[in-house]
Amino acid sequence: MASNNNNELYTGNMSTQGGSNSSINETDNTGFIGINVPLLSNDTIRQIREKRFSMIKPWSDFFDKNRISRPKDFSDITKRVSHNVVYFQANYLVIVLILLVYIMITNLLLLLSVVVIGAGFYYVSKMPANEPVSFFGGRFVADQKKLYIILGILSLILLYLSSGGSALFWIVGVSSTIILIHASFLEPSIESEFAETV
Choice between 128 and 23, residue whose per-residue pLDDT is larger: 128
Return d(Cα 122, Cα 126) in angstroms, integer: 6
| pLDDT value of residue 141 | 78
> Can you name the residues that pair with 30 across neighbouring β-strands?
36
Q: Model's pTM, two decimal places?
A: 0.65
Mean model confidence pLDDT for the chain: 78
pLDDT of residue 105 exceeding 80, the answer is yes
Percent of the chain with pLDDT over 70: 67
pLDDT tens-digit series, residues 114-171:
999 999 999 888 887 777 777 776 677 788 888 899 999 999 999 999 999 999 999 9
Comparing CA positions, the residue from 58, 29, 20, 54 lying closest to residue 145 is 29
Return d(Cα 167, Cα 89) in angstroms, integer: 22
Strands (E), 5-88: none
| pLDDT value of residue 80 | 95
Percent of the chain with pLDDT over 90: 51
